[in-house]
């Protein structure tokens, strides 16, 4: 019998559906949930609050070492994130914080410091982890690794809808450009680029409803869980 805490990794670019799919899966399974993008956003936010420039890597690494982030899944929207016990509301979800997070995420020393913050979320009975490098770097021994994709156009439309629903004033053409620029930076960076793990299953969600994606992911997970438990 394995004593390993099972992990379901959902990686992919912004707007691929990983957040919504991850939160529904976590709720169905009764597992912990990690929104790793929110962890980078939380660092960007706490640096801004402390008046520290994101380019000041030494200070950012120190700040990361003290960061305690909790994610509570909300299948109807973005996960609720608290930093060092304080709820952040919508403040983490702005494009400005997303940009700062992406800059921080391209720095290898920051990524190293964030490994411990993310791995602390692996607690029984299991963890659903969503991000860019969950399967390649953070949880290489995961039970199942899924890589979600969708065309940039559909991803920009999904982000637009999400942000509008949250009351943000956004422009679709601008969002499309931001998404393409951020994808390029996330995919080209040397430290943990946005690429599928060798053993990941890739799912294109462009023409799929969320419920279909959730069913496919859970169908793939069940036999692996049985196998892992028997090991």
Interaction site with ligand DC (CB under 6 A): 14, 36-38, 40-41, 98, 101-102, 105, 131-133, 182, 186
Q: How far is the CB of 213 from ligand DC (least distance, A)?
A: 17
Kindly tell me which of 186 and 228 has the beta carbon lying closer to ligand DC.
186
Query: Sign of dihedral through CA atoms 91, 94, 136, 128?
Result: positive
Q: How many other β-carbons are positioned within 10 Å of the β-carbon of residue 77?
A: 15
Q: Residue 14 or residue 46: which is nearer to ligand DC going by CB?
A: 14
To ligand DC, the closest distance from the beta carbon of 201 in angstroms equals 18
How do 127-131 and 32-35 pair as beta strands?
A: parallel
In the complex, minimum distance from the CB of residue 8 to ligand DC, in angstroms, rounded to a whole number: 14
Q: Please list, in sequence order, all residues whose beta carbon lies within 8 angstroms of the beta carbon of residue 222, skipping any fewer than 6 positions away.
A: none
Quick one: 65 or 223, whose CB is closer to ligand DC? 65
List the beta bridge partners of residue 87.
Answer: 82
Q: Residue number with the shortest CB distance to ligand DC? A: 37
Q: How far is the CB of 2 from ligand DC (least distance, A)?
A: 25
Per DSSP, what are the bridge partners of residue 35? 130
d(CA 186, CA 106): 7
Name which of 12 and 126 has its Cβ closer to ligand DC.
12
For the bound state, the minimum distance from the C-beta of residue 186 to ligand DC, rounded and expressed in Å, comes to: 5
Distances (CA, A) of 204 to 72, 154, 193: 26, 11, 19
Q: Which is nearer to ligand DC, 59 or 193 (CB)?
A: 193
Tell me the two tokens of residue 90.
């919508």
Spatial strand order of the sheet with 69-72 comes to 69-72, 80-83, 86-87
């Amino acid at each position: 019998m394995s004593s390993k805490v099972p992990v379901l990794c959902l990686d992919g670019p912004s707007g691929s559906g990983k957040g919504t799919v991850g939160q529904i899966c976590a709720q169905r399974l009764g597992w912990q949930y990690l929104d790793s993008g929110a962890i980078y956003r939380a660092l960007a936010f706490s640096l801004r609050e402390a008046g520290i420039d994101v380019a000041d890597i030494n200070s950012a690494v120190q700040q990361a070492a003290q960061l305690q982030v909790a994610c509570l899944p909300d299948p109807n929207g973005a996960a609720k994130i608290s930093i060092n016990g304080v709820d952040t509301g919508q403040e983490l979800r702005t494009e400005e914080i997303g940009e700062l997070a992406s800059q921080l995420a391209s720095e290898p020393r920051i990524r190293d410091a964030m490994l411990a913050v993310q791995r602390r979320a692996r607690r029984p009975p299991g963890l659903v982890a969503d991000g860019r490098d969950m399967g390649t770097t953070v949880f290489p021994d995961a039970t199942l690794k899924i890589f979600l994709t969708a065309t940039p156009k559909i991803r920009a439309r999904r982000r637009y809808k999400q942000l509008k629903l949250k009351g943000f004033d956004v422009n679709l053409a601008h969002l499309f450009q931001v998404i393409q620029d951020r994808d390029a930076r996330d995919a080209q960076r040397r430290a943990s680029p946005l690429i599928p793990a060798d053993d990941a299953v890739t799912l294109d969600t462009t023409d799929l409803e969320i419920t279909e994606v959730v069913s496919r992911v859970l169908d793939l997970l069940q036999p692996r869980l049985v196998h892992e438990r028997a090991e």
